[in-house]
Structure 1
Amino acid sequence: MSTTQPESSRTSGMVSLARLLPYARPYLWHFVLVLVLVVIFNATSVLQPYLVKVAIDSDISSKHPNYHGLIVISAVYIGVVIIGVAANFAQMLLLQFAGQSAIKAIRIALFEHIEKQAMRFFDQRAIGRLVTNVSNDTETISQFFTNFFLSLIRDGLSLVMIIFMMFRLDVRIASYAMVLIPIIFGISLVFRGQLRRAYQATRTRLSTLNAFLAENLAGMRIIQMFHQERRQQQAFLALDVSHRDANIKEYLTSVRFNRSLEILGNLAIAAVVWIGGEAVLKNAIDFGILYAFIRYIQQFFQPINSITQNWNTLQSSMVAADRIGSVLVIEPEIQDLPATVSIDTGRIQGHVAFEHVTFGYLPNQPVLKDINFTVEPGQFVGVVGATGAGKSSVMSLLTRFYEPQEGVITLDGKPIQQYKQKDLHALMGIVQQEVSLFTGTVLDNIRLFREDIPEEVVYHAAKVVGAHTLIERLPDGYHTQLYGKGSNLSMGERQLISFARIVALDPRVLILDEATASLDSHTEELVQRGLTAVAKARTTLVIAHRLSTIRQADNILVFDKGNLVEQGTHSELVSLGGLYAQLDAESGIELPYSS
């Protein structure tokens, strides 16, 4: 395996990192101040051996020891140490604030960018990967702004200062010490590739372990039902052992590198003691200079070790930045047109029309073909058909989650592209079979955390759909806390809350996508009574899983293989003797599951 990244990969990673740097621009002066504090801290670190050297040569080893001078040097030394500690503390605190603030800005920008994407974006990407982008990858980038940035500045500056002081003390011994640089560089070069591979192996195996764990926790019912606990335990054990081995290998590689530098450092000190000691014995240099050289050689290896260790931080940061950048460069497929203006949603009547609409999720594979229909304001319209007929696609186009390849969809005679998306979505209310509930109270979930909707409106909405009594039975009523997508509620209770949400938000067009398919007959009867009241003042489209849901509809649209094959009232369609009549004759059997 190659010890270096491909040039194109490194270039892409650096470009992605550079693309994220503007998020740190508001904290530029914080980073400048960190640089000043680093200079102060490094100066105090480099000055300490020199002060001891002065004390030894001027105050201790002289023919007339200078006690006053020794006290002064000791006081200065203590002051330098205190200043260094204070500067180090301040630089770490300031850098963490600036770095984490920049990461906060990146994370928010990434989340907002993802929120703007059309549904096709989410169709083509695993949700888990997006979660990793927002959480893990941004956290990795934070190491670049904190650890790597600090190491690059502090350790690089420290090396320069140490070399400067060594040459200032004695050019000959300093020149001998410079032989260490190519040796250290060679060792670092050898171990850098090994450290990178070990690091990547550990992180990859940890990701695999986490993915396996998440998959098993989500599917625990199936695992227990089919008695797969032992098999999954063995599979998890194998992954865990693999991760342990990778961790041990990473640790051993790091230890070998550190010990190699440690051995080289001790050999260098021995060489300095030999060369410098000979010079002291010959009175060529003072003993204090030898002491300072020994300390500087010890300090010389620390920044090199730190820079090499943080090279992996740069590598992983470039990979994470590339992942984040690959999301940020994707422009939302559906955007507001430049000419769109805000509208008064209260004046919208709810007239919906599809005119020669053709649509496919993939090019040249249409799921809707030349669809034409009209829904008058306040009408209750049913949509039926088998799996893959295109029913849900109609609703996705109406809410502008996708754009049709051909045709026009209008709301009150105006193409929906001419509405701002926030206005269009405010006009639409959708309830799906899979209810989306969030961590929070029942009250919060009904009004979707909108404080501008009074509690009285929420209570009224719940009463309209028949949910009030059920909610009152909960431990804390409307203030009952919901967890894990509402897992502490039954399917029927979750569905009723979603219906109450629609009433509270008061949209002009109501879309029910298989909304009652998972309800028992008693709960469905409650919901049907509520829906009758809800639908009176708004245009309602219902994708029906049970024909009983839409028998009283003003109009019924019958889809088959992407075509609108029939439409009319229940009695009209039954008398027509077509596909709907066939479905009605089989009404004892539920319709094939909807797409």
Structure 2
Amino acid sequence: MRFVTPYRGRFYLLIFLTLSLGILSPLRPLLVQWTLDGDVAEGDYKGMVWMMVVLLILLVLQSVVQYAHTYISGWMGQQVIRDIRTKLYQHLVNLRLRFFDKTPIGRLVTRTISDVETLSDVFSEGLAAMISDLLQLIFILALMFYTDWRMSLLSMSTIPLLLISTYIFKEKIKVAFNDVRNAVANLNTFVQEHITGMNIVQIFGSEKREFEKFTAINEEHKQANLRSVLYYSVYFPVAEIIAAAGIGLLVWYGAKGIIHYEDTGITIGKLIAFIMYINMFFRPIRMIADRYNTLQMGIVSSSRILNLLDNTEHVQQQGTLKPAHIRGDVDFQNVWFAYNEEEYVLKDVNLHIRQGETAALVGATGAGKSSIINLLNRFYEINKGSIKVDGIDIHEYELGTLRRNIGVVLQDVFLFSDTIMNNITLGNPDVTEEMVWHAADLVGARKFIERLPGGLSYNVMERGSTLSVGQRQLISFIRAMVYDPRILVLDEATSSVDSETEEMIQTAIGKMMQGRTAIVIAHRLSTIQKADKIIVLDHGQVKEIGTHDDLLLKEGFYAQLHKMQYKEFVG
């Protein structure tokens, strides 16, 4: 209802149309009864013609109201669904990376696409139509009892059977639809993960095994759908039999009543009207059962969506500080951090990187190097301690300002299926083509971009599949440098490129670091020997800090790492 509020005018109109539909439909049997018992019985041809005209006008009016009701409910549904999907995506992009670490992407795709689409059915054909059917039932009952209470009671005698069967059907189909939604989520997750990791599947020759897994999940999806089909195939024939039994009883009683008209007062008009009433009465009940299932699916989907929207693992953006310039001093003070409770990957980390200084983070895999970068960018929140930039806690900065001043180049470069220009600017209209070419010149990437068909307009396809590893890395450099960041982070930035490209990138890095604070993560110690400061990490703790030469003289952790790599190099 919160999402309906912006369209309250259309919503009130929809309520009015719903009430109108509930009243207009049951009027037809009443007019037919008056015609048969009045004009036809008395031989009034002119009166009968006039009544037919009235019926025709009523049908036209009902059709117009039905059209408006269907269109407006559908229009509202699409507006609300658009707003929900927008809100959901906006919520998703602001969630912490911790949430995405433990949530399968396929499930999030299901929430954003399939579950929201299910809600669309609720708005367009579920809720409003269901209310209209309920109002129609109430009005039909009122007219039936007004016409003849005895025939009404007889007509209602089969209703308990229909209600019982409808309740059983409702409960069974609710479980079935929940199974269907889970099966769809499992399918989406499996397909998304395995298409993304298809190279791994093929490298290890697991095509057959993965196909068998997919077949099993697909079978679960089929069985879940078949259960819902089974319940439908049983319920609707049962409902038809119960409705037919009600009409049969009514015809038997009404025919006997017509024969003994003096005692019962039953006329042919009454009998025909009641047959029409019964058909009109049972149809909404059957439709309500069907629409109730749409509503149930909507409830299941909305529960999933609301659970996601209620997730509070989003990045707190309480900071408001937007300085015109950031110098680039970085200070970690007694920082403790754990991805999981109490399993700390950083333990009481203290380090200070001055403006314009190049600091290298080294250590074995799992030492906590990448965690430091993640915390500086506020991708994750620290458990204890503080991180400051220019002496100000990073939480006091406006998040966008903080991240724009930290240029990050990762080892695993992700490119969208889009042009090189859009992959660099990410759709930011403030970044001009001139700025992009300037950054490309800085990293030495202009020549290879100009050689591509269309230059900056060249589509790199999904994950940059049409480019080499080195070319993708160069684009990530341009993406980082186009905002002229004060702090530059290079996370294994050259470990995946060939020697020739690495040499070009190292030259570019030298230019990029000028006047900037640089934090470099590298397994190859040869690439960081000229760093102003080398920070050695081991199991989340800072073990040593110093220059390359100083640390070698200490013969500690760094010297040991250096010897190990030198042996590998010699070998």
Q: Shared topology, TM-score over 0.5?
A: yes
1:237 to partner: Cα distance: 3.5
1:432 to partner: Cα distance: 0.9
Structure 1 residue identity aligned to 2:378: R
Match of 2:305 among 302, 308, 324: 324
Q: Which residue of 2 aligns with 1:427?
A: 405
1:501 to partner: Cα distance: 0.9
Q: Which residue of 2 aligns with 1:388?
A: 366
Structure 2 residue identity aligned to 1:58: G
1:536 to partner: Cα distance: 0.6
**Mapped partners of 2:558, 2:2: distance in 1:** 59
Q: Does 1:195 align with 2:173?
A: yes
Q: Say whether the 8 Å CA contact 1:41–1:85 is kept in structure 2.
A: no
Equivalent residue runs for 1:481-520 within 5 Å: 481-520=459-498
Q: Which residue of 2 aligns with 1:178?
A: 156
Q: Does 1:218 align with 2:196?
A: yes
Q: Which residue of 1 aligns with 2:288?
A: 307
Aligned-pair Cα RMSD in Å? 2.2
Q: Which residue of 2 aligns with 1:12?
A: none
1:332 to partner: Cα distance: 4.3
Structure 2 residue identity aligned to 1:304: I
Q: Say whether the 8 Å CA contact 2:137–2:284 is kept in structure 1.
A: yes
Q: Say whether the 8 Å CA contact 1:345–1:423 is kept in structure 2.
A: no
Q: Which residue of 2 aligns with 1:534?
A: 512
- Give the TM-score of the pair, scaled to structure 1: 0.90
**Mapped partners of 2:243, 2:402: distance in 1:** 69
**Mapped partners of 1:290, 1:544: distance in 2:** 90
Q: Say whether the 8 Å CA contact 1:103–1:139 is kept in structure 2.
A: yes
**SS of alignment partner, residue 370 of structure 1:** strand
Q: Give deviations 1:286-318, integer Å, cap 9, x for gaps.
A: 212211111111111111112222333333333
1:588 to partner: Cα distance: 4.6
Structure 1 residues 49 and 535: CA distance shift in structure 2, 3 A: same
Q: Give deviations 1:230-263, integer Å, cap 9, x for gaps.
A: 3444443344344334433322321211111101
Q: Give deviations 1:157-207, integer Å, cap 9, x for gaps.
A: 110111112122222211211223222211212222222233333333343
1:81 to partner: Cα distance: 1.5
1:333 to partner: Cα distance: 5.8
**Mapped partners of 1:443, 1:420: distance in 2:** 26
Q: Say whether the 8 Å CA contact 2:321–2:396 is kept in structure 1.
A: no
1:336 to partner: Cα distance: 3.9
Q: Say whether the 8 Å CA contact 2:154–2:249 is kept in structure 1.
A: no
Q: Which residue of 2 aligns with 1:5?
A: none
Structure 2 residue identity aligned to 1:293: F
Q: Which residue of 1 aligns with 2:25?
A: 45
Structure 2 residue identity aligned to 1:154: S
Q: Say whether the 8 Å CA contact 2:106–2:186 is kept in structure 1.
A: no
Q: Say whether the 8 Å CA contact 2:361–2:522 is kept in structure 1.
A: yes
Q: Give deviations 1:434-484, integer Å, cap 9, x for gaps.
A: 213223210111122111111111111112112211112222211012332
Q: Identity of counterpart residues, as a percentage?
A: 38
Structure 1 residues 590 and 287: CA distance shift in structure 2, 3 A: farther
Match of 1:99 among 77, 87, 92: 77
Structure 1 residues 329 and 195: CA distance shift in structure 2, 3 A: closer
Q: Say whether the 8 Å CA contact 1:545–1:590 is kept in structure 2.
A: no
Q: Does 1:546 align with 2:524?
A: yes
Q: Does 1:36 align with 2:16?
A: yes
Q: Does 1:378 align with 2:323?
A: no
Match of 2:185 among 199, 207, 215: 207
Match of 1:342 among 321, 326, 338: 321
Unaligned stretches of 5+ residues in structure 1: 1-20
Structure 1 residue identity aligned to 2:511: A
1:500 to partner: Cα distance: 0.4
Q: Give deviations 1:369-407, integer Å, cap 9, x for gaps.
A: 222222121122211110111111111222222333333
**Mapped partners of 1:199, 1:329: distance in 2:** 23
Structure 1 residues 48 and 493: CA distance shift in structure 2, 3 A: same
Structure 2 residue identity aligned to 1:26: P
Q: Give deviations 1:485-529, integer Å, cap 9, x for gaps.
A: 222222221111110011111111111111222111111112111
Structure 1 residues 330 and 260: CA distance shift in structure 2, 3 A: same
Equivalent residue runs for 1:440-455 within 5 Å: 440-455=418-433
Q: Say whether the 8 Å CA contact 2:95–2:315 is kept in structure 1.
A: yes
Q: Say whether the 8 Å CA contact 1:378–1:538 is kept in structure 2.
A: yes
Q: Say whether the 8 Å CA contact 1:461–1:503 is kept in structure 2.
A: yes
Q: Which residue of 1 aligns with 2:565?
A: 587
Q: Which residue of 2 aligns with 1:88?
A: 66
**Mapped partners of 2:347, 2:213: distance in 1:** 47
Match of 1:293 among 274, 296, 300: 274
Q: Say whether the 8 Å CA contact 2:361–2:536 is kept in structure 1.
A: yes
Structure 1 residues 335 and 384: CA distance shift in structure 2, 3 A: same
Unaligned stretches of 5+ residues in structure 2: none
Match of 2:88 among 106, 110, 125: 110
Structure 1 residues 195 and 481: CA distance shift in structure 2, 3 A: same
1:590 to partner: Cα distance: 7.2
Equivalent residue pairs, number? 566
Q: Which residue of 2 aligns with 1:77?
A: 55
1:93 to partner: Cα distance: 1.2
Structure 1 residues 203 and 134: CA distance shift in structure 2, 3 A: closer
**Mapped partners of 1:445, 1:235: distance in 2:** 35
**Mapped partners of 1:411, 1:351: distance in 2:** 5
**Mapped partners of 2:94, 2:211: distance in 1:** 40
Q: Which residue of 1 aligns with 2:4?
A: 24
Q: Which residue of 1 aligns with 2:113?
A: 135
**Mapped partners of 2:148, 2:431: distance in 1:** 78
Structure 1 residue identity aligned to 2:412: E
Q: Say whether the 8 Å CA contact 1:492–1:523 is kept in structure 2.
A: yes
Q: Which residue of 2 aligns with 1:364?
A: 342
**SS of alignment partner, residue 54 of structure 2:** helix
Structure 1 residues 205 and 334: CA distance shift in structure 2, 3 A: closer
